[in-house]
Structure 1
Amino acid sequence: MSADTVKVNVEFGGGTELLLAPPHEKKHKLTLPRTDAAGNDTNVTFLIEYIRKNLLQEREELFVDGDSVRPGILVLINNGDWELEGEGDYVLQDGDEVVFISTLHGG
């Protein structure tokens, strides 16, 4: 494992996986740089931007809102609500699991 990368597991559910390129895989193992271009530690905000640029295929407005996720998407970091971890400021660690679940459903 390289000291200049961080490996995280990312999972999509509740329909968020349908925004990804086919075959709409729910689980992804990502290797990200440990720091961004400005030298800041890679955090969940960086991950959201990475997902926007590299994984989303369509209707990114259903996933992102500015530099965060849109309201109605639950984010879990290691099975805990990301609000308890500092939301987008949470610095990613090797082996972290980040789950994005849409809580919005039609009816």
Structure 2
Amino acid sequence: MAETLKLNIHFGGGAELLFDKIKKREVELPPLKKFKPDCQSDKWTIKELLLWIKENLLREREELFLQGDSVRPGILVLINDTDWELYGELDYELQPADTVMFISTLHGG
């Protein structure tokens, strides 16, 4: 049976304002089939994580964080301090104790 997955999620650069001003969270994701019963896999990816974040952590102005099924342009995503582009972006399979950081590079002027 699938187990829960513990991760660290960090928000910075102003992105934390959309998440009750909380910059760091340790989260425990349920087995993927429990969260998304129609999913063909039992491995959490960044794509599913974003959906979980939207449903469980995002408090306001979804359009400032998400665009379609990904983060909007201007949100830098790091997985264990490395640009997510090097890990396959949305398809990266999350591992126990991963740290996923979302940093907004969008600033008013």
TM score, norm. by length of structure 1? 0.91
**Counterpart pick for 2:85 among 83, 86, 89:** 83
Give runs of aligned pairs for residues 18-33 of structure 1, distance below 5 A. Answer: 18-21=17-20, 24-33=21-30
Matches of 1:3 and 1:50 in 2, distance apart? Answer: 17
Runs of 4+ in 1 over 6 A off after TM superposition: none
More displaced, 49-58 or 72-81?
A: 49-58
Residue 4 of structure 1 corresponds to 3
1:81 alignment partner AA: D
Matches of 2:31 and 2:74 in 1, distance apart? Answer: 29
TM score, norm. by length of structure 2? 0.89
Q: Please, what is the CA RMSD of the aligned residues?
A: 1.4
Q: CA deviation at 1:3?
A: 5.1
Asked whether the equivalents of residues 33 and 42 of structure 1 are also in contact (C-alpha less than 8 Å), the reply is: no
Residue 97 of structure 1 corresponds to 99
Q: CA deviation at 1:35?
A: 2.8
Residue 49 of structure 1 corresponds to 51
Q: CA deviation at 1:81?
A: 0.3
2:68 is aligned with 1:35:
no
Q: How many residues were matched structurally?
A: 104
Matches of 2:91 and 2:63 in 1, distance apart? Answer: 21
2:23 alignment partner AA: K
Asked whether the equivalents of residues 12 and 100 of structure 1 are also in contact (C-alpha less than 8 Å), the reply is: yes
1:7 alignment partner AA: K
